[in-house]
Structure 1
Amino acid sequence: MTASPKSRRRVLVGVSAVATVSLGVGVAAGSRISSPEDAAAKTAAPKASQITVPVAKKALSSKVVGRGDASFDGAVNIRVETSGLTTPPIVTGKVPAVGSTITEGKALLEITGRPVIGLAGVLPMYRTLSPGSKGPDVLQLEQTLDRLGYDPGTVDDEYTLDTSAAVEELYENAGYEAPAPDEKVTQAVDQSKKQVDAAKKQLRQAQSQLKAAKTAKAAAGGKGDTSVQQGAVDDAEENLADAQEAQNEAEFKAGTPLPVSEVVYVKTLPRRVDDVKVERGGTVNGVVMSASGASLVVTVKVDAETAQRLKAGMAATLDLGDSVSVAGKVRRVTKNGNQYDVVVAPNALTASQLALLRDANVRVTIPIKSTSGKVLAVPVAALSSGSDGASRVEVLRNGKVELIPVTVGLTADGFAQVTPKGDAKLSEADQVVVGR
């Protein structure tokens, strides 16, 4: 059966439509097909670009920052040497109150009615000193007396009558009678006086006998011998000289002493009384009180590397909170085990600041170095080294990177001071590369 012309046309149109659709699908599929190289190029990370920051002009300051506890400086235990007493060491008065101040040259306690005077010194009182004593403890005493304005004569290691006179002044200004010499010493003085009197009497008798012998010789026309009487006078004069020398020595030794139980040396004064271990009527046995420096300090612990950058006298700032800060100075840096203690003292404190600081943990800032005004500065990450080891920065200019050799100065807070070398140019706002 033969198809009519009209039927054939419908078939051709259908075939044509199918071909057209197939062609569109093929083109679309072909557009999604790519080579392995094209696929890798499309999936690779974008090309890295430089990360830059502008060169800044700013002041740099290197500093040590830490936290520390506030306390009264240098707590010490105070002991009184009572071995020289002949009676029990009973506390009879002047018991200090906690918080009171120990002042140099004043009594900090009374034992058996006698004062215990506080003096500044490193050697402890370990013996009673008196005229004729020699040693480093005598030197320390005379240095102290001289510093306090009492004239001990020549400042050396020998206790003299001038030292005795200065000790008397010390006691007088402390409000007490000077200590008396030992009874045996005063007895020796009395005995020496009697010996001098006896020697004088003997000399007078010898002189009288010599005079009588000379008178008799003259009456006999010059005959007779007076050598025996003259010898007696000579011996008597020698005995008197020895007796007077012995008396001078005894009186020298009878100068004002300094009893071992009446002075306590503390490294530094004044100090604050932190704790009292005795009471009036009680017996002294060991430590009588503990005391610390009269001024508050803050102690910051640092490592050995940091400690090497710090020294006494450096300025510091103490942050007391509530936007309150006070100026201070580093008082000392001392090793404490594997760490170092940096002791910082405020320059001055008001009553309210003292209340804030007492027993507080505070932030301390100690400047180490600072630039003289504003300088060119870049982040430390912008610095690199060339093959010769010299420092340089990369500056992005007009889309190109230029290497600028620089001299590096102070580094602080992540920035470094830089100065371009030679004819190289570097200015504020230049873009330096810090990463890619």
Structure 2
Amino acid sequence: MTASPKSRRRVLVGVSAVATVSLGVGVAAGTRITSPEDAAAKTAAPKASQITVPVEKKALSSKVVGRGDASFDGAVNIRVETSGLTTAPIVTGKVPAVGSTLTEGKALLEITGRPVIGLAGVLPMYRTLSPGGKGPDVLQLEQTLDRLGFDPGDVDSEYDSDTAEAVERLYEKAGYDAPVADERLTEAVDAAKKTVDQAKNALRQAKAALKQAKAAKSPDTSVQQGAVDDAEENLNDAQDALNEAEFKAGTPLPVSEIVYVKTLPRRVDDVKVERGGTVNGVVMSASGASLVVTLKVDAQTAERLKAGMAATLDLGDGTAVAAKVKRVTRNGDQYDVVVAPNKLTARQLTLLRDANVRVTIPVKSTSGKVLAVPVAAVSSGSDGGSRVEVLRDGKVELVPVKVGLSADGYAQVTPTGDVKLSEGDQVVVGR
């Protein structure tokens, strides 16, 4: 059967509508289809841009920062040489308490009822000193006596009568009787005195005989005069012998009654003896009366430090104490840096004692404010010189610089080429 014209028109309209819809679907689908190249382009990272920071004008300071332990300075062990004693070295008194202060010229301890007086000196007491003795230990003693105001006469290397009298004054000031000479020396003095008395008596008799001969108008008195001359000479010899005996019997300084310590006063850290006990070796340990902080550094850091440098101690309560480097000494593979506070209040002393504190020691600093950039902004050129990259109007310019002090992540820079560098310029630190 043949379709009518009307039916054919309906079919054409339907086909046309389907085609139109299909075309729209195809166009819509086409907008959602992406090629591999387009997809890669859309997912790739954006082109890198420079990361910049401004050039600053600031003061730079390089410093050593570490933690150190507080202690009293210079601990030493104190020994008493008791070999000169004829009895057992029994401690009889003056035992110091831990924390007390040892003062120069005062008794540190009593052994067999006699004082052990502390004096400042580097040469240890190794023998008993007495009149007639000579040596460097005598010189140290006289220097000490002179410094303490006891007037030992000529400060030389000879222990004379003036030295002995100064030693007497030292003991008197310390509150003790001066030491006495050995019994044999005092016996020699007594014997010399008897000889002098005998010589004086002989001279009196000789003079009396001469006078009697002259009174009798004896024609020859030469024998009597000779006897007087001999008696006078004997008396002079006896008097010289007495003077020598008395000199040797002058006040000695027993080896067991003096202890030299490098510096005084000092603080008692530990006591090794007790009253009634026997001395055997170290009697006590003592440190300096001043509190210091010691931090350990490596050799490279130690090279940057020296005595006299200013420092700061952080007490941990928000306060800081001004200090100075006292000394830098090697200790095995490391170095000990000893820092002493300039001045401490009673409260600060309490906080610092036996504490571990932060120590800051400025090593170098610029003279006022300088141009500074982050260390990351400085690079090396092909010629080996330093440079920074400055971003100006979207373009990067290379500026040759001389690098100065580096501290806290910043470096001091000074432009060396024709291109200027100013505060606020943007330098590249990364991309």
Same-fold status (TM-score > 0.5): yes
Distance 1:236 1:96 in 2: 59
Give the 3 Å change call, closer, same or farther, for CA 19–275 of structure 1 in structure 2: same
Deviation at 1:39, TM superposition (A): 5.2
SS at match of 1:32: coil
Aligned to 1:32: 33
User: Cα deviations across residues 60-102 of structure 1 (Å, max 9, x unaligned)?
Assistant: 1111111112122222222211111112222222222222110
Aligned to 1:292: 287
1:383 aligns with 2:384: no
1:424 aligns with 2:419: yes
Distance 1:79 1:375 in 2: 58
SS at match of 1:140: helix
1:108 aligns with 2:103: no
Give the 3 Å change call, closer, same or farther, for CA 191–57 of structure 1 in structure 2: same
Checking the alignment, whether the CA contact within 8 Å between 2:52 and 2:427 is kept in structure 1 is yes
Aligned to 1:179: 179
Deviation at 1:48, TM superposition (A): 1.5
Deviates more, 1:401-410 or 1:236-245: 236-245
Scaled by the length of structure 2, what TM-score is found? 0.87
Aligned to 1:283: 278
Distance 1:147 1:159 in 2: 16
Deviation at 1:10, TM superposition (A): 3.7
Checking the alignment, whether the CA contact within 8 Å between 2:110 and 2:116 is kept in structure 1 is yes
Map 1:27-426 onto structure 2 (within 5 A): 27=27, 28-29=29-30, 32-34=33-35, 36=37, 40-195=40-195, 219=219, 245-421=240-416, 423-426=418-421
Deviates more, 1:189-198 or 1:310-319: 189-198
Deviation at 1:239, TM superposition (A): 6.6
SS at match of 1:372: coil
Deviates more, 1:146-155 or 1:49-58: 146-155
Distance 1:4 1:149 in 2: 150
Deviation at 1:32, TM superposition (A): 3.2
Distance 1:273 1:103 in 2: 11
Deviation at 1:313, TM superposition (A): 1.5
Deviation at 1:111, TM superposition (A): 1.6
User: Cα deviations across residues 389-425 of structure 1 (Å, max 9, x unaligned)?
Assistant: 2222111111111111222221110111112225432
Distance 1:79 1:306 in 2: 37
SS at match of 2:315: strand
Letter of the 2:292 partner, please give it.
V
Gaps of 5+ in 1: 221-225
Distance 1:10 1:154 in 2: 147
Deviates more, 1:131-140 or 1:259-268: 131-140
Give the 3 Å change call, closer, same or farther, for CA 207–385 of structure 1 in structure 2: farther
Aligned to 1:223: none
Distance 2:154 2:382 in 1: 69
Deviation at 1:263, TM superposition (A): 0.7
Deviation at 1:370, TM superposition (A): 1.6
Distance 2:385 2:123 in 1: 56
Aligned-pair Cα RMSD in Å: 3.3
SS at match of 1:426: coil
SS at match of 2:69: strand
- Matched pairs, number: 429
Deviation at 1:242, TM superposition (A): 5.8
Checking the alignment, whether the CA contact within 8 Å between 2:399 and 2:417 is kept in structure 1 is no
SS at match of 1:321: coil
User: Cα deviations across residues 296-354 of structure 1 (Å, max 9, x unaligned)?
Assistant: 21111111111111111211111112212211111211112211111111111111111
Letter of the 1:85 partner, please give it.
L
Deviates more, 1:253-262 or 1:162-171: 162-171
Deviation at 1:46, TM superposition (A): 2.2
Distance 1:2 1:199 in 2: 189
Letter of the 1:345 partner, please give it.
A
